[in-house]
């Protein structure tokens, strides 16, 4: 009897076969013991599985959540870029992205140096950022595109028509790794000249300063001459190829004494905004610009896309891409809101009285 009992226990524990004594006549004690041991075995397995599951869940919960990284590629220097970068940060915050908490931004500034954009774009690619925001015009956009064909690129409004420039297949279906906002501000060239004439009716001769690249050349040769003839204005184009060319052009302007100054969009102009507005102020020249940053810096007036609205849309693209959307499927947007900004302090300082009907149309007056 004792020998049979020992065999039953061993067989039950091994699980290889059921004990022959379990269920035999007069083996009720052994049968009860078999069932008890089986129940304990399944209970033990259940406890082990439960512990493993709980441990896995806790470990997963304790793992830090990956923070997405955005590469911010600017043609400007930190000071000159601060207004735009801060506006984009605020727009991202409205969507729940807080820098330093659930999103990281790697800032890279070319500071107006030609060729620097390419180095910085390559550096952001090596950092394996999740997305590159291009805060610049054509040269900066092209640098980012040359650096990567896979990392999503979001343009923030600078540069030529992205279709004509070859950045995207169409506005509706970009088709590659680039999308975003195109302000097409160069298309507003004639309108800016018209507003300058309305603001200062005595205007007769206007100097145009421009960097001879991209759409600036087309504006000078095709768009602005047509608008000038309609307004009975004489325009004087003056090209600037680099930062060292400003003094020569300023000297020519002091000699020619035009009635007004018109600044065309380019990276070079962006990085020398304060320098240009200081000259216009000192020379008492009514001046027109393509973005309100120049007016904030002391320029007389600007007309262009509502940048605050554009930057909110930039944040929208970032949000969509980080949530899995592909740039190829996100249409490139054009501005729907435009703003006329006038600096009344500058007008007073240079002795210009802005026509009341123009003031009434201004979206913002700096007093």
Distance CA 167, CA 145 (A): 8
* Backbone φ, ψ for residue 201 (5° rounding): -60, -25
88 Rama class: left (phi>0) / alpha (psi -120 to 50) / beta: alpha
Task: Report how far apart the first and last C-alpha atoms of the chain are (Å, whole number).
Answer: 109
pLDDT (tens place) for every residue of the chain, 367 residues total: 444 444 343 344 444 444 444 444 445 556 665 666 666 666 666 666 565 655 555 545 555 688 999 999 998 889 888 889 999 999 999 999 999 999 999 999 999 888 899 999 999 999 999 999 999 888 899 999 999 999 999 999 887 789 988 999 999 999 999 999 997 655 688 999 999 999 999 999 999 999 987 667 888 998 899 999 999 999 999 999 999 999 999 999 999 999 999 999 888 898 899 999 999 999 999 999 998 989 999 999 999 988 888 899 999 999 999 999 999 999 999 988 899 999 999 999 999 999 899 999 999 999 9
DSSP designation for 222: I
Distance CA 134, CA 297 (A): 23
301-305 sheet: strands from edge to edge: 234-239, 205-210, 260-263, 287-289, 301-305, 338-343, 364-366
69, 123 Cβ separation under 8 angstroms: no
pTM of the complete model: 0.73
Query: CA dihedral defined by 345, 261, 79, 158, rounded to 10 degrees?
Result: 120
Alpha helix (H) residue ranges in 63-129 = 78-94, 116-126
Distance CA 309, CA 305 (A): 8
What is the predicted pLDDT for the residue at 65? 80
Q: Which domains does the chain have, with CATH numbers?
A: 2-50 (no CATH), 69-184+307-329 (3.40.50.2300), 187-305+339-366 (3.40.50.2300)
DSSP designation for 144: H
β-partners of residue 131 are 70
Q: Which of 167, 171, 95, 129 is nearest to 329 (CA)?
A: 171
What is the predicted pLDDT for the residue at 342? 98
β-partners of residue 106 are 71
Reading the block at residue 170, the tokens are 């169409």
What is the predicted pLDDT for the residue at 136? 87
Q: Identify the three-state secondary structure at position 328.
A: helix
CA 10 to chain CA mean position, Å: 71
β-partners of residue 235 are 206
Q: Identify the three-state secondary structure at position 187.
A: helix
- Where does the chain show beta strands of DSSP type E? 69-74, 104-109, 131-135, 153-157, 178-182, 205-210, 234-239, 260-263, 287-289, 301-305, 338-343, 364-366
| R_g (Cα) of the chain, nearest Å | 34
Buried b (16+ CB within 10 A) or exposed e, 253-285: beeeebbbbbbbbbbbbbbbbeebbebbbeeeb
């Amino acid at each position: 009897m004792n020998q049979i009992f020992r065999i039953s226990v061993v067989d039950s524990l091994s699980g290889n076969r059921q004990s022959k004594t379990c269920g035999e006549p007069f083996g009720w004690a052994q049968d009860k013991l078999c069932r008890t041991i089986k129940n304990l075995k399944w209970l033990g397995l259940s406890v082990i599985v439960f512990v493993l599951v709980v441990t896995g869940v806790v470990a997963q919960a304790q793992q830090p959540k990956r923070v997405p990284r955005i590469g911010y590629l600017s043609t400007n220097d930190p000071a000159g870029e601060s207004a735009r970068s801060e506006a984009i940060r605020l727009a991202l915050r409205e969507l729940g992205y807080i820098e330093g908490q659930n999103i990281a931004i790697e800032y890279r500034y070319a500071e107006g140096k030609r060729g620097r954009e390419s180095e910085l774009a390559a550096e952001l690619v090596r950092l394996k950022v999740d997305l590159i925001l291009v805060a610049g015009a054509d040269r900066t956009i092209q640098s980012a595109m040359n650096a990567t064909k896979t990392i999503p690129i979001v343009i923030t409004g600078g540069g030529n028509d992205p279709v004509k420039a070859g950045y995207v297949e169409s506005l509706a279906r970009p088709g590659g790794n680039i999308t975003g906002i195109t302000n097409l501000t160069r298309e507003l060239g004639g309108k800016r000249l018209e507003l300058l004439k309305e603001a200062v009716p005595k205007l007769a001769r206007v100097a145009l300063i421009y960097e001879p690249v991209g759409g600036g050349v087309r504006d000078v040769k095709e768009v602005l001459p047509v608008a000038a003839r309609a307004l009975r204005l004489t325009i004087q184009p003056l090209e600037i190829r680099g930062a060292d060319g400003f003094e020569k052009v300023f000297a020519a302007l002091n000699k020619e004494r035009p009635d007004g100054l018109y600044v065309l969009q380019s990276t070079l102009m962006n990085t020398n905004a304060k320098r240009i507005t200081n000259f216009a102020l000192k020379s008492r020249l009514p001046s027109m610009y393509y973005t309100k940053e120049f007016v904030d810096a002391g320029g007389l007036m600007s007309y262009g896309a509502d940048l605050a609205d554009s930057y909110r849309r930039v944040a929208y693209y970032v949000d969509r891409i980080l949530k899995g959307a592909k740039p190829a499927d996100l249409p490139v947007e054009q501005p729907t809101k435009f703003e006329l900004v006038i600096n009344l302090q500058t007008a007073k300082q240079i002795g210009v009285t802005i026509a009341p009907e123009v003031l009434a149309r201004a979206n913002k007056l700096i007093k």
